[in-house]
Amino acid sequence: MRHIVSVLLENEPGALSRVVGLFSARGYNIETLTVAPTEDPSLSRMTIVTAGSDDVIEQITKHLNRLIEVVKVVDLTEGEFTERELMLIKVRATGRERDEMKRMADIFRGRIIDVTERTYTIELTGNTSKIDAFIRALDRASILETVRTGSSGIGRGERVLRV
Amino acid sequence: MKSASAETARAEQPSSNSPLEGPITGAEIVVRCLQAEGVKHVFGYPGGAVLYIYDEIFKQDAFQHILVRHEQAAVHAADAYSRCSQQVGVALVTSGPGVTNAVTGIATAYMDSIPLVILTGQVPTHAIGQDAFQECDTVGITRPCVKHNFLVKDVHDLAAAISKAFYIARSGRPGPVLVDIPKDVTVARCAFEYPRNPSLRSYNPVIKGHMGQIKKAVQLLLSAERPMIYTGGGVILADASDLLARLVERLNAPCTNTLMGLGGLRASDRRFVGMPGMHGTYEANMAMQHCDVLLAVGTRFDDRVIGNPKHFAQNPRKIIHVDIDPSSISKRVKVDVPIVGDVKEVLNELLTQLEANQPAPAPSTQAWWHQIQQWRSRECLKYEFNDKVIKPQYVVQALWKVTGGDAFVTSDVGQHQMWAAQYYPFEKPRRWINSGGLGTMGVGLPYAMGVQIAHPGAQVAVVTGEGSIQMCIQELSTCKQYRLTPKIINLNNRYLGMVRQWQQIDYGGRYSESYVDALPDFVKLAESYGHVGLRIERPDDVEPALREAFTQLKDRLVFMDFITDQTENVWPMVKAGRGLTEMLLGSEDL
Following DSSP, what letter does each residue of B74-119 receive, concatenated? Answer: HHHHHHHHHHHHSSPEEEEE-STHHHHHHHHHHHHHHHTT--EEEE
pLDDT for the residue numbered B358: 64
Cis peptide before B572 (omega within 30 of 0): yes
Q: Which of B498, B560, B573, B583 is catalytic?
A: B498
d(CA B52, CA B48): 9
Q: Which residues of B touch A14 (CB under 8 A)?
A: 139, 143, 149, 151
The model's pLDDT over B195-233, given as tens digits with 9 standing for 90+, comes to 988 989 999 999 999 999 999 999 999 999 999 999 999
The Cβ of residue A32 has, within 10 Å, a number of other Cβ atoms equal to 16
Residue A29 has pLDDT above 60, yes or no: yes
Whole-angstrom Cα distance, residue B462 to residue B522?
15
| Pick from B158, B175, B172, B237: nearest CA to B200 | B172
Q: SS3 for B492?
A: strand
Q: Judge whether B147 and B175 are in contact, CB under 8 Å.
A: yes
Q: Taking CA atoms, what residue in A is nearest to B326?
A: A62
Residues of chain B contacting A17 with CB distance shorter than 8 Å: 140, 143
Proportion of chain B above pLDDT 90, given as a percent: 93
Q: Residues of B with CB below 8 A from A15's CB? A: none
Tell me the nearest-neighbour CA distance from B279 into chain A, angstroms: 27
Chain B CB contacts of A13 below 8 Å: 151
* Dihedral of alpha carbons B311, B314, B316, B319, sign: positive
Q: Report the pLDDT value the prediction gives residue B12, as an integer from 0 to 100.
A: 42
Which of B148, B163, B201, B202 should be substituted to probe chain A, the one whose Cβ sees the most A Cβ atoms within 10 Å? Answer: B202
What does the angle CA B522 – CA B523 – CA B529 come to, to the nearest 5 degrees? 85
> What is the four-CA torsion angle of B117, B119, B120, B121, rounded to 10 degrees?
170
In Å, how far are B76, B225, B324, B392 from B264, measured between CA atoms?
22, 24, 17, 25
Phi, psi dihedral angles at B312 (to 5 degrees):
-60, -35
Q: Contact at 8 Å (CB) between B150 and B178?
A: yes
- Mean of all residue pLDDT scores within chain B: 95
What residues does A4 pair with on adjacent strands? A49
From CA B532, how far away is CA B180, in angstroms rounded?
A: 40
Average pLDDT over residues B434-442: 98
If you average pLDDT over residues A18-23, what whole number do you get?
96
Question: Would you give the distance in Å from CA B26 to the centre of its chain?
Answer: 32
Q: B414 or B18: which carries more pLDDT confidence?
A: B414
Q: Say which residues have a Cβ less than 8 Å from residue B329's Cβ, sequence separation at least 6.
A: A62, B321, B323, B335, B338, B340
Has B573 been annotated as catalytic? no
Query: Which H or E element spans position B374?
Result: helix B366-376
| Residue B199 DSSP code | -
CA atoms within 13 A on the CB side of B447: 35
- List of chain B residues whose C-beta atoms are within 8 Å of the C-beta of residue A70: 202
Q: How confident is the model at residue B361 (pLDDT cuts 50, 70, 90)?
A: low
Residues B161 and B179 sit within 8 Å (Cβ to Cβ)? yes
Q: Which residue in B427, B447, B391, B439 sits closest to B571, CA to CA?
A: B391
The rounded Cα B573 to chain-centroid distance in angstroms is: 23
The dihedral over CA atoms of B218, B269, B237, B486, expressed in degrees to the nearest 10, equals: -170
Closest CA to B495 of B577, B369, B388, B392: B392
User: For residues B297 and B232, is the Cβ–Cβ distance under 8 A?
Assistant: yes
User: Across the interface, do A66 and B203 touch by the CB < 8 Å criterion?
Assistant: no
Q: B326: which chain A residues are within 8 Å (Cβ-Cβ)? A: 62, 65-66
Name the residue in chain B with its Cα closest to that of A7: B202
> What is the sign, positive or negative, of the torsion defined by CA atoms of B48, B36, B342, B255?
positive
**Is B37 annotated in the active site?**
no
Contact A59 B331 (CB under 8 A): yes
> B131: pLDDT confidence band, cut at 50, 70 and 90?
very high
What is the band of B359 on the pLDDT scale with cuts at 50, 70, 90?
Answer: low
Does residue B19 register a pLDDT over 70? no
- Chain A's closest residue to B144, CA to CA, is A21
Residue A35 to residue A11: CA distance in whole angstroms: 10
Question: How many angstroms away from the CA of B151 is the closest CA of chain A?
Answer: 9
Q: Is B401 a catalytic residue?
A: no
* Nearest-CB residue to B202 (from A25, A58, A68): A68
By the 8 A CB rule, do B362 and B531 touch? no
Taking CB atoms and an 8 Å cutoff, what residues of chain A touch B330?
A: 55, 58
Neighbouring-strand partners of residue B117:
B90, B177
How far is residue A17 from each of residues A11, A35, A63, measured CA to CA in Å?
A: 12, 12, 14
Q: Degrees (nearest 5) of the Cα angle B379, B384, B387?
A: 150
Other Cβ atoms within 10 Å of B267 Cβ, number? 17
pLDDT at B1 over 50: no
Comparing A4-13, B18-27, B243-252, B479-488, the range with the smallest average pLDDT is B18-27
Answer yes or no: are the C-beta atoms of B109 and B142 closer than 8 Å.
no
Is B562 marked active-site?
A: no
Q: Which of B134, B219, B371, B474 is catalytic?
A: B134
Confidence of residue B357 (pLDDT cuts 50, 70, 90): confident
**Is B326 close to A62, i.e. CB distance below 8 A?**
yes
Angle at B473 between CA B471 and CA B478, to 5 degrees: 130
User: A66–B144: do the CB atoms touch at under 8 Å?
Assistant: no
Structure ipTM:
0.93
Q: Is the pLDDT of residue B5 over 90?
A: no
Among the listed residues B37, B71, B193, B466, the single catalytic one is B71
Backbone angles phi, psi at A82, to 5 degrees: -120, 155
- pLDDT given at position B355: 87
pLDDT on residue B500:
97
Tell me the pLDDT band of A163, cut-offs 50, 70 and 90. Answer: confident
Total CB pairs under 8 A between chain A and B: 38
Say if the Cβ atoms of A66 and B327 lie within 8 Å: yes
How many Cα atoms sit within 13 Å of B299 on the Cβ side?
31
pLDDT in tens, A46-78: 999 999 999 999 999 999 999 999 999 999 999
H-only helix segments in chain A: 15-25, 54-66, 96-107, 128-137
The alpha-carbon gap from A68 to the nearest alpha carbon of chain B, in Å, equals 6
- Mean per-residue pLDDT for B98-112? 98
Digit-coded pLDDT (tens) for B565-584: 999 999 999 999 999 999 99
Catalytic site includes residue B134: yes
Q: Would you call B568 exposed, middle or buried from its count of C-beta atoms within 10 A (0-12, 13-18, 19+)?
A: buried
A145 φ/ψ angles, rounded to the nearest 5 degrees: -165, 140
> In this complex, which of A14, A59, A71 lies closest to B327 when CB atoms are compared?
A59
Q: Is B496 left (phi over 0), alpha (psi -120 to 50) or beta?
A: beta
> Which tens digits make up the pLDDT trace of B298-351?
999 999 999 999 999 999 999 999 999 999 999 999 999 999 999 999 999 999
Farthest CA pair distance, chain A: 57
CA-wise closest residue to A130 among A155, A104, A94: A104
CA–CA distance, B541 with A5 (Å, rounded to integer): 65
Its pTM stands at: 0.94
Of B148, B202, B329, the CB nearest to A71: B202
Cβ of residue B10 closer than 8 Å to a chain A Cβ: no
Per-residue burial over B13-43, b = 16 or more CB atoms within 10 Å of its CB, e = otherwise: eebeeeeeeebbbbbbbbbbbbebbebbbbb
What length does chain B have?
590
Give pLDDT tens digits for A102-124.
999 999 999 999 999 999 999 99
What phi and psi values does residue B225 have, to the nearest 5 degrees? -95, -25
Distance from CA of B196 to the nearest CA of A (A): 19
Question: Burial, B110: exposed, middle or buried (Cβ in 10 Å; 0-12, 13-18, 19+)?
Answer: buried
Residues 6+ apart with CB under 8 A from B551: none
Q: Residue B583's closest CA among B335, B367, B380, B300?
A: B380
A66, A70, A71: residue with CB nearest B325: A66
The per-residue DSSP string of A66-85 comes to HSTTEEEEEEGGGS-EEEEE
**Closest to B242 in 3D by CA, of B30, B397, B423, B429:** B429
Instruction: Summarize pLDDT for B241-285 with one digit per residue, the tens.
Output: 999 999 999 999 999 999 999 999 999 999 999 999 999 999 999
Give residue B8's pLDDT. Answer: 42
